[in-house]
Amino acid sequence: MGKPTKSAQEKKFTVTYYREEYERNIARVDSNQGRYMKGKRQSTVEPVFGTLTHFMGFNKVNTIGIKQANKCMQLSAIAYNFKKYMKFIEKRTKSAARVLALYFSLKNTLYKAINTLLRACKIKCIKIKTAF
């Protein structure tokens, strides 16, 4: 019979220094409250990130620093909430004229709010272009 290969002789088993923390975290996630919180998170937070990445083109945060990344995430959250609000308003209004008037007033308000936020952060913003 032949000699075992070199790789078979040198198999190693490593244990991380943080093993206790990993096991404690796994126990927390597997508990009843952990399963409940996981389900809650999957139904509230994760669909927002899915919508931002798949439908709104927010794949990457191209900023330097946590402060800039936070601003970028807040602006994307504003855009997401504005889109949801517009969809909600469309269901409530009957006439197209009211929808357009409401749309432009909300758009202008949002534009002013974003510019105020960006001006406070010393970032320039380009005028938002729409199809209307």
Counted domains in the chain: 1
Q: Report yes or no on 100 lying in a domain.
A: yes
Domain contains 42 = no
Per-residue pLDDT of the chain (132 residues; tens, 9 = 90+): 445 556 666 777 788 899 999 999 999 999 999 999 988 888 877 777 777 777 777 777 777 888 888 888 888 888 888 888 877 776 666 666 777 777 788 888 887 777 777 666 655 444 445 444
- Single pTM value for the model: 0.47
Q: Is residue 97 part of a domain?
A: yes
d(CA 107, CA 86): 10
Q: Assess if residue 50 is contained within a domain.
A: no
pLDDT of 122 reads 59
Residue 21 forms part of a structural domain? no
Residues 38 and 29 sit within 8 Å (Cβ to Cβ) = yes
Residue 94 resides in a domain: yes
